[in-house]
Amino acid sequence: MTVLTSGSALASAASAAPKPRRSLAAYWLIAPGVAWMVLFLLLPILMMVYVSFWTQTTFKVEPILTAKSWVAFFSSDTYVGALWTTIRIWLVVLTATLVVGYPAALFVGLMVRNKTTATALLVLCVIPFWTSFLIRVLAWRPMLGGQGAVNIILEKLHIISQPIEALLFTELSVVIGMTQIYCVFMVGPIAFMLGRIDPFVIEAAQDLGAGFWRIFRTIIFPMSLPGVVVGAIFVSVMVLGEFATAAALSGHKVNLIGNIIVTQVGSLKWAFAAVAGVVLTAVIAVIVAVLLRLVDLRQEL
């Protein structure tokens, strides 16, 4: 009892003592970051929203507020179509990176129990990044073209008798290119989460009588979900803002919101470009918010 009393006395003394004043110096640590983000992210975004309401004429844009650009954007089949194309390609690419990336992550993160080997395999995934992004995109042209590598190989194997023309300069080629380029961003986070699963936990599930698919469905997949969400956020943010892959591999046939922005800026239509930018930002924000809702990342990571 004496121990208890003295213990609680100590506790109350501790709580009664004045809290140490948080040093102002701590805030100086984030000052450069905050300044940078305000100057080069927050202000430009606000400016973008502002400019989207400016008056656009053929040759100049004036700071006279109007909703004309917004009306023009949403009444144009080209722009609205680009919005839907963007969302469609995003969904397809997200699914494709998950389908291709998850098994790879499963292998690296779970089957390979040697940490050095797992790291080496992940580095292997990153090797394509040693070449520039544009080179990687353009390299798909000689792969997918009518006289490209894929067609030649398929013909030599007598699987096809004439080249598949649909491989290049179609939506398919854009999806193939994007899946290859962004897949690694899906593999990394998932492999990381899978690598953190205690092997004994899987053995415990096995010991309790569960077969492989049961264990996958009830233990492995739920525990890797935070990795899937983080990977999906990476891929989504990058694919939604894409324009180069679409331009290079579709022969300008597939127009994403990103491509619209590029052409509008190119022809000095700042107000239209700003509308497209605001729409794109809003779409990304909604998608990221929804993805974050799926898993409580703060708790899981």
Partner 1 sequence: MRSAPILSDSSTGIPILSLEAVSKRYGSRIALDGITLDVADDSYVSLLGASGSGKTVLLRAIAGFEPLDGGTIALRGEPLSDRPAHRRNIGFVFQNFALFPHLTVQQNIAFGLENRAADRPSARLVAERVRAMVDLVGLSGLESRAVTAISGGQRQRVALARTLVAEPTLVLLDEPLGALDANLRARMCGELRRIRERLGVTFLHVTGSETEALAMGDEVVVLDAGRIAQIGAPDTVYGRPADAAVAKFLNCYNMFAGRPGPASFETEGARLPVRGMPEPRSGAVYAIRHDLIAVRPIDAAVEEAEARLTGDFLASEYSGPAVTSFFRLPSGTVVTVEDHLSHREPQLFEPGRAYGLVWRAADALVLPAREASRA
Give the binding site for partner 1 (CB under 8 A). Answer: 198, 200-201, 203-211, 214-215, 218-219, 222-223
d(CA 30, CA 39): 14
Residues 177, 249: contact at Cβ < 8 Å? yes
How far is it, in rounded angstroms, from Cα 178 to Cα 82? 17
Smallest separation (angstroms) from partner 1 to the CB of 231:
18
Query: Which of 233, 240, 249, 256 has its CA nearest to residue 136?
Result: 249
Select 214 or 253, whichever has its Cβ closest to partner 1: 214
Adjacent-strand bridge partners of 55: 62
* Minimum CB distance to partner 1 smaller for 105 or for 178: 105
Closer to partner 1 at the Cβ: 77 or 198? 198
| Minimum distance, C-beta of residue 199 to partner 1, in the bound complex (Å) | 9
Closest distance between partner 1 and the C-beta of residue 198, in Å? 6
- In the chain, the N- to C-terminal Cα span, in Å, equals 41
Q: Choose between 77 and 207: whose C-beta lies nearer to partner 1.
A: 207
Query: How far is it, in rounded angstroms, from Cα 237 to Cα 147?
Result: 34
Residue 194 Cβ, how far from partner 1 at the closest point, in Å? 13
Q: Identify which of residues 70 and 216 has a Cβ nearer to partner 1 in the complex.
A: 216
User: In whole angstroms, how close is the CB of 25 to partner 1 at the nearest point?
Assistant: 35
Which residues contact residue 65 at a Cβ distance below 8 angstroms, ignoring those fewer than 6 apart? 53, 54, 55
